[in-house]
């Protein structure tokens, strides 16, 4: 029996990965992290989508310690999300150590349930400037987990080399375009669906959707070629 653990936030990217995983694996387990993020609604959306999609199990983990250590606009209500980069070249929505912690805990969960695959929706092509979304980082984490647990484990990143338009095409390919568009939460300001339209996450998401809707056939061909 093939089992996978999906790191699941209830946003566009992780929902697209979850829908795809349901086509491939006999059991799909989602893991969602409560780290005191800006909007608790993110967790509720993830739980609702998990139920709707019929996943095998959904674990919501309290990792509030991350909030104590990582100061970011996504962990502090008094810091507005900015479109400008900080002096260190990173956006103020970057949560240092987040994906290090998330992938470690997802790997441990996979170990416990006998899964050999962890899936995460990070992307280097159209990413937000986060160093923990890069391919080199994921490979390093994969190596560390395999060595540290002495277990076969594959961290998959289905979106790593897709731009946002191609990610929308993938959702459409899986028959989930409308679900991803209207029922996921990507917006940094906590608005489900198309979001606020102003934060960096919404702007990236909308630009990709517009590009896909304007040229669906060509972008779908690009997606299939990459697959």
The annotated binding site is made up of 8-18, 187, 196, 199, 202
Inter-CA distances, 31 with 7, 44, 131, 225, Å:
5, 13, 22, 30
**27 phi/psi in degrees, rounded to 5:** -130, 130
Sequence ranges of the binding site for ATP: 8-18
DSSP-assigned letters across all residues of 19-43: HHHHHH-SEEEEEEEES--S-THHH
Q: Which residues pair with 172 in a beta bridge?
A: none
Q: What angle do CA 189, 19, 191 make, to 5 degrees?
A: 15
Q: For the chain, first and last CA: distance in Å?
A: 24
Sequence ranges of the binding site for Zn(2+): 187, 196, 199, 202
How many CB atoms are located within 10 Å of the residue 170 CB?
A: 25
Task: Tell me how far apart the alpha carbons of residues 159 and 76 are, in angstroms, rounded to a whole number.
Answer: 28
How many CB atoms are located within 10 Å of the residue 141 CB?
A: 22
């Amino acid at each position: 029996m093939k089992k996978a653990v999906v790191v699941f936030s209830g946003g566009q990217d992780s929902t697209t990965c979850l829908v795809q995983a349901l086509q491939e694996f006999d059991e799909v387990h989602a893991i969602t992290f409560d780290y005191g993020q800006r909007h608790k609604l993110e967790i509720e959306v993830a739980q609702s989508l998990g139920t709707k999609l019929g996943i095998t199990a959904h674990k919501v983990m309290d990792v509030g310690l991350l909030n104590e250590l990582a100061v970011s606009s996504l962990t502090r209500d008094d810091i507005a999300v900015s479109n400008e980069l900080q002096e260190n070249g990173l956006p103020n929505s970057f949560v240092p150590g987040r994906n290090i912690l998330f992938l470690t805990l997802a790997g441990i969960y996979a170990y416990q349930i006998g899964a050999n695959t962890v899936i995460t929706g990070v992307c280097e092509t159209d990413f937000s400037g986060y160093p923990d979304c890069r391919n080199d980082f994921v490979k390093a984490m994969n190596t560390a987990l395999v060595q540290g647990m002495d277990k076969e484990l594959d961290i998959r990143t289905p979106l790593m080399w897709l731009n946002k338009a191609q990610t929308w095409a993938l959702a459409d390919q899986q028959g989930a375009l409308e679900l991803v568009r209207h029922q996921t939460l990507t917006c940094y300001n906590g608005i489900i669906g198309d979001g606020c339209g102003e934060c960096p996450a919404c702007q990236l998401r909308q630009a990709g959707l517009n590009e896909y809707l304007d040229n669906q056939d060509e972008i779908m061909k690009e997606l299939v070629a990459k697959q």
